Structure 1
Amino acid sequence: MKMARPDTFRDGFDYLPARFHQYVDDPDVFIIMAESGDSLVGIALYMFHDDDEALLLKTGRQNPKYDGGGAFRRVSQSVPMVYKDFLLQRCKPTTLYQSVVEGHRTNLHKYLQNYGLWGKDKCKFDTMYFQSDVSAIQSSLASSNTTNLPPLTPYQPPDLHRLLPPAFSAAVLSEGRVFVDWEPYKLSESNMKKFVEAGCYILVDSTEPAAKSFSFGGSYMTPRGRVYHIDIHCKDEALCKAHIINQVKNACSQYRGMITFCIMVIDQALKETVVKYCVESLTLSHLPHDHTYTLYETDLTTVAKAVLGNKAKY
């Protein structure tokens, strides 16, 4: 797990050490390892979801020993074999191939091209990192004025009737996708049940007949300490603030010590609202690790053509 050293992936706020064994045991997850002799060059983690309607290239890691040593080329060489021997037999004709990456980074353009994802961007979202000690946060919460914020309640299965109407999806979601800790899903009864069983803390407003917002919260340990992710789906500033403060309260009721909050907003217009509210009202420290991510999505035919062409190069 030296691949998850603090100066690499996600600025050291890496979830993989905490979830590695969970992924190994999950029948919907495939971890592909690239080796050179007796050394591990890198790994790629693929995840089936939405009843096999989507295959997500969830993440990858490169052995620091091979930095600048052609590790990407070696992993690229294995792509046709990976699909042929491990993934394609599980895929349906309608299965979509997905990846969530920082598409603006020029060093990722080759990766996107090799997988047939270049030009297939579907939507973007922003993530921001804030940090503080729980005792300091509780002091800020005690003095925060929440009387003007809309009420939220923990999600219950009967709330689903207010989340599934097309009016909610069209007004709030991006491409009909729900993002939970970086992963895109269809909004469905089976997925919501899955999120609840996984221990997500889900909040929803009480608007009828269709809700106007919901959020997901959850925690994991990283090389730099505990991270609590808050994934906000809404387009209203007051609702956004309500989701933040209620998710922060939940985190502080469960944990002690330093917490880093990774706050994701689908509506990029809310980024400034999030930063101002977290810093000025909740007195959280804004860390210099903001990122904009893009969901890329394509069909398997495009992927097959790309990986076969990639194979020909080598």
Structure 2
Amino acid sequence: MTDQVMTDSDRREVRRVTEADYDDVMSIRSSVYDGYDYLPFQFKSLINHPDNEGYATILNGQFVAFCIISKVDGGETMVTRAGRVNKQFEGHGIFKALTSFIKQRQCNGTVCYHAFIADDTNQVILDAISRGELAVLMRKNTDFYKIEHNLRALTEKMDTPKYSRIMCPADMENVFQSNEACVHLFPETRIMCNLIPYRLKKSNIPLMFSDLTLIVGTNDSGWQLITCGTYYKCEKGHVYDLYVYGNSCFMSEHLIIHLKNILKYCHNRLEFLLHCNENQAQEFGTEMKKCQSIKVHGPWKSDYLVENKLK
């Protein structure tokens, strides 16, 4: 099928998306993000969240592009997420026009920065980075692991954590108030949680905790390790995104806590996406193998937190 040709007579509009638009948004494109598309699973909660706004481009009555933004950092930063454009209309500037519309709309308020996550297969973004048009705030190595075993049986064989536990908002506030902890854990002054980058601000803490996200911490004479895990279901099956901050000494304790949490959603055939610093990938990989996971080839090897100033 050839690409559609746009003409001056085409009727184009951009409007806010609601929960009722689910089917139209999903019809835009299938197999997005190599099958790791969390939008179908999280659409309702994302669209109805008070700090999120979803927008779609409609051409002659057909939904052809979509993007959702999350406002964080006290409203200073808009994070674009889950973007997609109908494959037949790629190369016509539709998605660029959509994001430009959103930026202009948000700049009339408190938003000063635009941030998003891109992986190393996005050549357009990599070229923009090399030209200095976008600033890279954080780069994480991404490794893919599969666990085919029964998770309940697996967790029963693992040692009970002694130094690590599920964190609460008060714990995260304690971390953010400690300059020593922040320098050790978050040298880039950002934390990725629930697939959103946050500045280390107290106002962000309530946004970081959700039903699908679990934050685990180790406080042994100071905060040593924090991991942020988010569950979703997609074309690939059950997926758990895990961002790691700190050293690997207590990683096995964190894994058992996250695995027990995952039992609420699935009992086997889980895929882990492990995001950590490149120089720590081997250490964390060793811990992943201890829980009988198998490293598999993934569609990308690293992801970037990118930001530009809007005003």
Q: Same fold (TM over 0.5)?
A: yes
207, 218, 221: which one pairs with 1:194?
Answer: 207
Contact conserved, 2:28 with 2:64, CA < 8 A, in 1?
no
Q: Alignment length, in residue pairs?
A: 284
Deviation (angstroms), 1:199: 5.1
Higher deviation after alignment, 289-298 or 12-21: 289-298
Q: Distance in 2 between matches of 1:183 and 1:30?
A: 14
Task: Please give the root-mean-square deviation of Cα atoms over the aligned residues, in Å.
Answer: 2.8
Deviation (angstroms), 1:15: 0.4
260, 268, 285: which one pairs with 1:275?
Answer: 285
Q: Which runs of 5+ in 1 are unaligned?
A: 302-314
Cα 1:105–1:212 shift into 2, 3 Å: same
Q: Where in structure 2 are the equivalents of 1:25-40 lying within 5 Å?
A: 25-40=48-63
Higher deviation after alignment, 217-226 or 51-60: 217-226
The residue number in structure 2 matching 1:106 is 123
Cα 1:118–1:240 shift into 2, 3 Å: farther
Cα 1:26–1:163 shift into 2, 3 Å: closer
Q: Where in structure 2 are the equivalents of 1:35-184 lying within 5 Å?
A: 35-66=58-89, 69-71=90-92, 73-84=93-104, 86-92=105-111, 95-102=112-119, 105-109=122-126, 118-133=133-148, 135=150, 137-144=151-158, 146=159, 151-159=163-171, 160-184=173-197
Cα 1:48–1:14 shift into 2, 3 Å: same
Cα 1:22–1:111 shift into 2, 3 Å: farther
The residue number in structure 2 matching 1:19 is 42
Deviations 1:179-227 (A, max 9, x none): 113311123444333333545322111223x312212223222122222
Deviation (angstroms), 1:256: 2.2
218, 237, 250: which one pairs with 2:248?
Answer: 237
State the TM-score, normalizing by the size of structure 2: 0.79
The residue number in structure 1 matching 2:30 is 5
Q: Which runs of 5+ in 2 are unaligned?
A: 1-25
2:305 matched to 1:295? yes
Q: Distance in 1 between matches of 2:200 and 2:87?
A: 38
243, 246, 258: which one pairs with 1:247?
Answer: 258
Q: Where in structure 2 are the equivalents of 1:217-232 lying within 5 Å?
A: 217-232=229-244
Q: Distance in 2 between matches of 1:25 and 1:133?
A: 34
Aligned to 1:91, the other structure's residue is in SS state: coil
Contact conserved, 1:117 with 1:298, CA < 8 A, in 2?
no
Q: Distance in 2 between matches of 1:4 and 1:130?
A: 26
Higher deviation after alignment, 248-257 or 104-113: 104-113
State the one-letter code of the partner of 2:188. Answer: E
Aligned to 2:287, the other structure's residue is in SS state: helix
The percent of aligned pairs where both chains have the same amino acid is 15
Q: Distance in 2 between matches of 1:221 and 1:174?
A: 31
Deviation (angstroms), 1:117: 7.0
Deviation (angstroms), 1:78: 4.4
State the TM-score, normalizing by the size of structure 1: 0.78
